[in-house]
Amino acid sequence: MPLLAGTIRLRTTRAAGALLTGLAFASACAPLPGARTGADQDWRVTGGEPGNSRYSPLDQIHRGNVQQLEVAWVYHTGDGPRGQIQATPVVVDGILYSTSSSLKLFALRADTGEELWKFDPVQDGAMPSGVNRGVVYWENGAERRIFYTVGRRLYALDPGTGTPIRSFGQGGWADLAAGLGRESSSQLVATSPGVIYGDLLIQGSRVSEGDGALPGFIRAYDVRTGALRWVFHTIPQPGEFGYETWPPDAYRRMGGANSWAGMAVDTRRGIVFIPTGSASPDFWGGGRIGANLFANTLLALDAATGRRIWHYQTVHHDIWDRDLPAAPNLITVRRGGRTIDAVAQITKSGFVFVFDRETGEPLFPIEERPVPTNALAGEQPWPTQPFPTLPAPFARQTFTEADITDLSPEAHAAVLARFRTLRQPAVLYAPLSREGSIVFPGFDGGGEWGGAAADARHGVLYVNGSDVPWIGTLVPTPAPTSAAPRKGAEVYAASCASCHGPERRGDGDRNPSLLGVGSRLSAAQIRQVIDQGRGFMPSFRTLPEAEKSAVVAHLLEQQEPPAPAAARAGQPAGGGEVSPYQLRSYERWRDPAGYPAAKPPWGTLNAIDLNTGEYLWKIPLGEHAALRERGMPTTGTEQYGGPIVTAGGLLFIAATMDEKIRALDKRTGEILWEGQLPAAGYATPATYSVNGRQYVVVAAGGGKLGTKSSDSYVAFALPRR
């Protein structure tokens, strides 16, 4: 079926110059060519190796001694208790590289946490925005570089000094807008690191999720010069495969279909596997009728050229923000006495799709099933969606009255009353509505950017997920008025209060407090956020200019400027298409005490045998102290960050709200050790060894889900003998 998969025969030979030098693990997790082996082991890629297995061959820490782990060092980035740190460090030759909540890049001695250097992008003229989930290391002989992104800048730095390599791009950085073919002030950043193939850095991006978004084309940059080497159009242009799945002019005006979650590379075959997100705007598809390839698609591209080899679209015409949320995992499975090199992709809905790496053939049957289509006028939902028959979903996908929380009679009654006001049935892929629709798992999954870990030797995938319901409500987009511009307080009440609250206090997660925002951002920076969007906030570029100025003054508690006569016409700034509906807010559905509206568990960790598609074990992960004190069994918590797996028979994962990192027996899911962190570790750990000692390190930045922030990285190791 052309909407689902397309195949091009893969070349069996590659130019010698396209082979990766000194960087790649083989597909079966062999040691790095040229890296130190034996006692010392690096973590050179955020996913452990180019295939994103998040597997380490280290076994010094194992099931028998993990209870002895102790804090080896703690590093404070200097940003103080603010923001979030979501990065997984890379470790090369005993040096650890990672980022802070304000996107400073630093290098540490990986055995002691001693700072060697720090790069501040603000001092280089960049404007940090959003979060960073890691950096990219490249070397070829004596040449070495660290790549990471800040705002629209893709930096190349000297790993020895932390200074920009001025021969790269525009004096040390390349423009993330290169190759997009459009000029726009709309949001453009990169939250996840790119991947290396030979002398190419293949990079994704994050773009606005609202009207006026830029397209999320995949680009490959020359690692030495910063020049653009190839571009893959995720919104196809005339004559390209998939063009007919969009309106004819979509490539000129639609955005999104971007890869923000990271990628994986099969370096032996020369294939890069790229997951993409939804088209913009997220929740209204009336302006992009069709299946919308290559949004919500796992792409297999020729890493040297960007040529499409095969693809699979996991959601057609997405109107639920069902981005593919994590980099895929390369894994080897066994079927009927033979081995198959596979690629596994988790989703926000809790599915695991598994394909043959070379052909894109599903390893378990996938059924196209009818889904609800009762949408608002002007929308045309796709009538079917793909459902893998195996493995079973690792998150719940329907919400009935039987799923309502029973923590207390008061909680049950409050949730039940709201439940009866919402559109039914609450099933996967039901279109959002004006009265409110239950989204389960929520907009943040199911699976999220922490991703899964793969034990390639045994064909087992380990994935954590959240089981938290959200509510999606569509409201009409306010029409421009010819009356006088509104005052700042009116603009805030209409456009901002639903997320940040009427008192500007935020919710401690997606929507930060705006109290005292003038101490953090200038008027110009606030205006830029209004125009471009930031994080989960969409762009409000269509507001009249006078109203933008008024709301900035309101936020800064300053006198509002008089509206110029021209502004009184109330024409929106920026032009462009405006959707008739928009999401009222990102609303986690909670009971009056702040706990999820569903019965526990609210977060799980799962072991799935991909040789058979069956679960080996499933446990709730994380706990709420107040509920534990009431004698409740472990409930699990909502999670961000993922697991790693080691040859010592262990899984390491932080991710939970309770500020702990845990080690589990990978065979059974038994928790063998817990370590206390200064704040929640909403990041994926890394493990490495220096001078014969194995370390496990995690960023403990907190800052999501109402939990406190920290500027800490914490490393654990066994006591020195």
How far, in whole angstroms, is CA 114 from its chain's centroid?
A: 29
Secondary structure (3-state) at 271 = strand
pLDDT digits (tens, 9 = 90+) for 524-549: 878 878 876 665 666 676 678 888 88
Give the three-class secondary structure for 710. Answer: strand
pLDDT digits 0-9 by tens, 629-642:
999 999 999 999 99
Note the pLDDT of residue 517.
Answer: 83
CB distance 115 to 711 below 8 Å: no
- Quickly tell me which residue has 């890049």 as its tokens: 105
Phi, psi dihedral angles at 332 (to 5 degrees): -110, 130
Q: What is the structure's pLDDT at 10? A: 35
**φ and ψ at residue 366, rounded to 5 degrees:** -120, 125
In 3D space, the residue among 27, 43, 40 whose CA is nearest the CA of residue 87 turns out to be 43
pLDDT band of residue 9 (cuts 50, 70, 90) is very low
Average of per-residue pLDDT across 194-203: 98
Supply the angle between the helices 523-532 and 545-555 in degrees, to the nearest 10.
130
Contact 197, 303 (CB under 8 A): yes
Report whether 362 contacts 317 (CB < 8 A).
no
pTM of the model: 0.90
**Per-residue pLDDT reduced to its tens digit, 453-479:** 999 899 999 999 999 999 999 999 877
Which range has the top average pLDDT, 10-14, 205-209, 694-698? 694-698
Task: Report DSSP letters for 65-84, one per residue.
Answer: TGGG-EEEEEEE-SS-S-S-
The share of the chain scoring above pLDDT 70, in percent, equals: 89
Other CB atoms within 10 Å distance of the CB of residue 102: 19
Task: Show the CA angle centred on residue 126, arms to residues 548 and 175, nearest 5°.
Answer: 95
Residue written as tokens 């009427």?
A: 502
Q: 5-397+440-468+600-717: CATH homologous superfamily?
A: Quinoprotein alcohol dehydrogenase-like superfamily (2.140.10.10)
All CATH 1.10.760.10 domain ranges in the chain, comma separated: 478-578
Rg (C-alpha) for the chain, rounded Å, is: 24
HSE-CB of 256 using CA atoms within 13 angstroms:
30
On the question of pLDDT at 308 being above 90, the answer is yes
C-alpha 9: how far from chain center? 31
- Residue 456 is predicted with a pLDDT of 87
Lowest mean pLDDT among 261-270, 298-307, 505-514: 505-514
Domain with CATH 2.140.10.10 in the chain: 5-397+440-468+600-717
**Of the candidates 126, 76, 124, which has an alpha carbon nearest to the alpha carbon of residue 101?**
76
Angle at 37 between CA 34 and CA 38, to 5 degrees: 165
Across residues 357-364, what is the average pLDDT? 98
pLDDT tens digits, one per residue of 129-153? 889 999 999 999 999 999 999 999 9
Token pair for 22 = 């000194």
Q: Which tokens sit at 476?
A: 């009409």
CA dist 358 → 207, 270, 338 (Å) = 30, 10, 16
> CATH code for 478-578?
1.10.760.10
Residue 483 has pLDDT above 70, yes or no: no
Long-range contacts of 535-538 (CB under 8 A, 24+ apart): 535/130, 535/131, 535/510, 536/209, 536/510, 536/511, 536/586, 537/499, 537/511, 538/208, 538/209, 538/210, 538/211, 538/281, 538/582
Tell me the mean pLDDT in the region 341-349. Answer: 98
Rounded to 10 degrees, the C-alpha dihedral 30/36/41/45 comes to -70
What residues contact residue 12 under an 8 Å CB cut-off, 6+ apart?
Answer: none
- Look at residue 497 in the predicted model and tell me its pLDDT: 67
